[in-house]
Amino acid sequence: MHGGRLTIDLKALADNWRQLARRAGPAETAAAVKADAYGLGIEAVVPALLNAGCRSFFVAHFSEALRVRALAPDAVIYVLNGLPPHGCSAFHTLDLRPVLGSLDEVAEWLAHSPEDAPAALHVDTGLNRLGLSPPEIALLPKNFRPALVMSHFVSSEIPGDPITLRQIATFRAVREMIPDVPASLCNSSGLFLSALKDIAFDMVRPGYALYGGNPTPGAANPMREVVKLEARLIQLREVESGVSVGYNAQWHTTRPSLIATVSLGYADGYLRSGGATAQHVGGKAIVNGVECALAGRISMDLITIDVTDAPGVQRGDWALLVGGGLALDDVAHRLETNGYEILTSLGRRHERVYLSS
């Protein structure tokens, strides 16, 4: 038996990809499936996206690319974290495309690759993590012709952020230095910028929005919900007013209460920051149609919920923790993080139910 039940709607996922593809217009819509498809399972997600029409995928690591290649023999697969030392031959064997982010990587690729072996080039336009700086573009070997030039937004989810405009201008200047090479800049939120018609370029690479996350924080979520997380109530306990619940006695009842314990905890991706204390409200759960407050700290394998106001609660009932009336981004806000961390922290202990596309 599993502690939690994670329901993943692959039809909604495919619909989200189609919606984003429509927004992208003539630009190709790839899919970011790194971190095990944002925690939802590469082996289920990639076939659903292939069936929807996706033909290019982005992963972070070579090991992830192996899994995608086994599912998508004809897909174009980019490995974002670049080229490991002495790794060229493995990329050639599986027809994988490294995203090269330094002059050293470019030099190694050219030295150990066939002349027409495709690779992407990452240019840093302000994030200061990976990628060549714009001045380094002039130092690229004349015989290097990338299959794609790309960069990544710093804060495209914040409308009107000046750094986004600076990044767009920098990327345009880079394109002039490498003319006639396909280009990609937009992530999920970038697809919803007002300047989209000018910045979709040749390819967009959404990730979070595919999985139901809101690419437009502060506005209604245009994407379909993909994920629902539930756990069964495994014990009910009647307690008096003034009684502490959970580790360190940081939360106390203020009335005679019914406390339910569910078999799911921070080891299953529900972060400790979702716990309730005297100073922090914490997360919520929906039990028998009623929104209930969490009670006390989150344990490794257990969460306690104040179900006093929920009708007819019995052992074995389900508590909804993410999805339905508890939108992913709202849960993330209560847990003082973002939806990306929620999704990628879900772990492997849940029963996984995939609704077919």
Domain that holds residue 299: 227-355
pTM for the model: 0.96
On the CB side of 210, CA atoms within 13 Å amount to: 27
Catalytic residue IDs: 34, 247
Selection from 352, 331, 51, 353 nearest residue 214 by Cα: 331
Asked if 19 and 153 sit in the same domain, the reply is yes
What is the maximal distance between C-alpha atoms in the chain? 77
154, part of any domain: yes
CATH classification of the domain holding 65: 3.20.20.10
Chain-centroid distance of CA 304 in Å reads 27
| SS3 state at 311 | coil
**Are residues 106 and 155 both part of a single domain?**
yes
Domain termination site, one of 211, 235, 270: 211
pLDDT tens per residue, range 192-225: 998 677 899 999 999 999 999 999 998 999 999 9
In this structure, the answer to whether residues 197 and 326 fall within a common structural domain is no
Q: Looking at the structure, do residues 59 and 200 belong to the same domain, yes or no?
A: yes
> Does 187 share its domain with 263?
no
Q: What is the pLDDT of residues 272-328, one digit of tens each?
A: 999 999 888 999 999 999 999 999 999 999 999 999 999 999 999 999 999 999 999
The CA angle 148-149-152, to the nearest 5 degrees, is 125
Q: What is the pLDDT of residue 104?
A: 97
Burial of residue 181 (number of CB atoms within 10 Å: 0-12, 13-18, 19+): middle
Cβ pair 324, 212 in contact under 8 A = no
Binding annotation for substrate: 129, 300
DSSP string spanning 26-66? Answer: TSEE-EE-HHHHHTT-HHHHHHHHHHHT--EEEESSHHHHH
Question: Is residue 161 a part of any domain in this protein?
Answer: yes
Same domain? 19 vs 122? yes
The tokens describing 338, both together, are 């973002």
Structural domain total, the chain: 2
Query: What mean pLDDT, rounded, does the chain reach?
Result: 96
Give the H or E element holding residue 331: helix 328-334
Could you tell me the two tokens for 197?
């018609």
CATH number at residue 262: 2.40.37.10
3-state secondary structure (DSSP) of residue 87: coil
Q: Which of 154, 185, 211 is the last residue of a domain?
A: 211
Do the domain assignments include residue 282?
Answer: yes
Q: Residue ranges for the binding site?
A: 129, 300
